[in-house]
Structure 1
Amino acid sequence: MMAAIERRGVLAAIGALSLFPVWARLTAAEVVGDFILARTVRRSLADGRHIEAAREFAVSFVPEASGKTLVTGTQISVRVEAPPALEALARIEERRKEDGFFPLRLDGSGLIMPTADKELFSELPEAVASAALAYARERSAGLEAAAASCQFIADLSDRSHHWLTLMPRDLFFPEPRDRRVSREIELADGTNGVIRMRETAQADPATGLLGSFSREAETATQTLSRTGSEIWTLARTVS
């Protein structure tokens, strides 16, 4: 059986090439106060519709004597939109709290510090796309052509969408960037597909703090398209 292979890859990276943030006026240790961190996640469904979950968290930055910064947070609102057939699932999702990733600590550069009980941080789109393609090839190897193509697309989509569940390490002080990757693929049954990923980050020019951070992932063939996206924003609490 001919395994699915990548036929052509086109990568465009715009903006900074490093993941590490460049400060404008503030360092992480100089940020004090209360903020609203918002995250909206959107996933497409097989029938072309989508499900979307938007959450807000009350976040506080507390500088520590060590030079690190403690970031605490509590979920304060949630909104879920879904087709009528998934109404029960939407109500379950609305009752779920998703603030277990707090508290966090930022190092002196503003990067989130890893902990033993949390999964690894997300990688850049080009690394994720390469790893997803390698994983999908391995999983579909040895299968009959039609089955191999289905398995390949399912695994490729799952891996690229898993990327959206991982937190960027420079979330709170992102380096402004716009990174995109698009890889065309040829499936075992002779059909073609594509995987596309994009990550954009904007920071407050006065402070270096998060303005917006968005990621998009799409896996498509001639007969289907699976898309997902997320966007984070941060705004100071108005008293």
Structure 2
Amino acid sequence: MGSRRQFLVGTVGIGFGLLAPAHATLAAKVIVPDKLCTLSRSLIRTLSDGNAISVKREWQIGFSAVSGGFVVSGRQIAVSVDAPPSLAGLAQMEAKRTETNLFPIELDASGLLRAGVDPLTPASMDNALAKAEDFLAGQAPSDDLKAAARTFAASLDQRAAGLLSLLPRDLFFPRDKDWREAKTLALPGQQAGEMTIDFAATTDPDSGLLVRADRTISTRIGSSSRRSSEVWSLTV
């Protein structure tokens, strides 16, 4: 990010708890740019037929200093949608939609979202998989367990997509830059199940600011698998 003027927020050393798995690293420093940037987000969902739908949005954003932290303001400047022909109508509607609820975003002095959440954690995975086990355990022996598993796989995928849509608290200043968590699911009928979360991020070495972050949730029950992923990037 060269010689641009920047606001130095400070050096922080904190324990991150549920921000990421226990092996999270500490952020050395947090610096916000003093000029407009471009933030982009690509959401990709694999469909049951093997096709995928992706939506990419871009916003022009700026950081403003306030008491105890910062406010990130922004406006949508571009959107693109890639979907199979069968979803052309949905893709057209999504392409016309302007995301107005994302901003403003409040950051504390350490660069974390004040109102953010930490959706991608081992605890959230355990909760989702516990519900899957309860559902499948309640099926009568005469039920078609494979069909039930496929039905719940779709439900679990929807839950995973919902988790992925929530903003992590360390969006702009990723703390732990490379981690993976996998949980297995005990299923009747000798079927296997699993939910996996993968995260990888790159940051500017001088400021700690996000460059790119990839988050992916994969779910599998029996032979049915789904995948939801997102990519955030910030260009200064």
Give the TM bin, normalised by the shorter chain.
0.7 to 0.9
Q: Is 1:132 matched with 2:137?
A: no
Aligned-pair distance for 1:55? 0.6
What's the secondary structure of 2:235's corresponding residue? strand
Q: Which residue of 1 aligns with 2:35?
A: 33
TM-score, normalising length: structure 1: 0.80
Structure 1 CA distance, aligned partners of 2:152 and 2:186?
11
Structure 2 CA distance, aligned partners of 1:22 and 1:202?
13
Structure 2 CA distance, aligned partners of 1:46 and 1:105?
37
Aligned-pair distance for 1:15? 9.3
> Residues 175-208 of structure 1: CA distance to partner in whole angstroms, max 9, x if unpaired?
1421112233342233223222111222110111
> Residues 91-137 of structure 1: CA distance to partner in whole angstroms, max 9, x if unpaired?
001011123120011111111111xxxxx613334222212112222
Q: Which residue of 1 aligns with 2:95?
A: 94
Does the Cα contact within 8 Å between 1:125 and 1:198 map onto a contact in 2? Answer: no
Q: Is 1:159 matched with 2:162?
A: no
2:49 aligned residue (47, 50, 61): 47
Structure 1 CA distance, aligned partners of 2:47 and 2:153?
15
Q: Is 1:228 matched with 2:225?
A: no
Q: Which amino acid letter does the alignment assign opposite residue 213 of structure 1?
A: A
Q: Which amino acid letter does the alignment assign opposite residue 39 of structure 1?
A: R
What's the secondary structure of 1:101's corresponding residue? coil
Q: Which runs of 5+ in 1 are unaligned?
A: 1-13, 115-119
TM-score, normalising length: structure 2: 0.81
> Residues 50-103 of structure 1: CA distance to partner in whole angstroms, max 9, x if unpaired?
000011000010112x13211001111000000011111100010111231200
Q: 1:202 to 1:214 in 2, by over 3 A?
A: same
Q: Which amino acid letter does the alignment assign opposite residue 162 of structure 2?
A: H
Does the Cα contact within 8 Å between 2:31 and 2:209 map onto a contact in 1? Answer: no
CA RMSD of aligned residues (A): 2.3
Structure 2 CA distance, aligned partners of 1:98 and 1:186?
39
Does the Cα contact within 8 Å between 2:74 and 2:104 map onto a contact in 1? Answer: yes
Q: Which residue of 1 aligns with 2:17?
A: none
What's the secondary structure of 1:133's corresponding residue? helix
Q: Which runs of 5+ in 2 are unaligned?
A: 1-19
Does the Cα contact within 8 Å between 2:192 and 2:221 map onto a contact in 1? Answer: yes
More relative contact order in 1 or in 2 (CA 8 Å, sep 6+)? 1
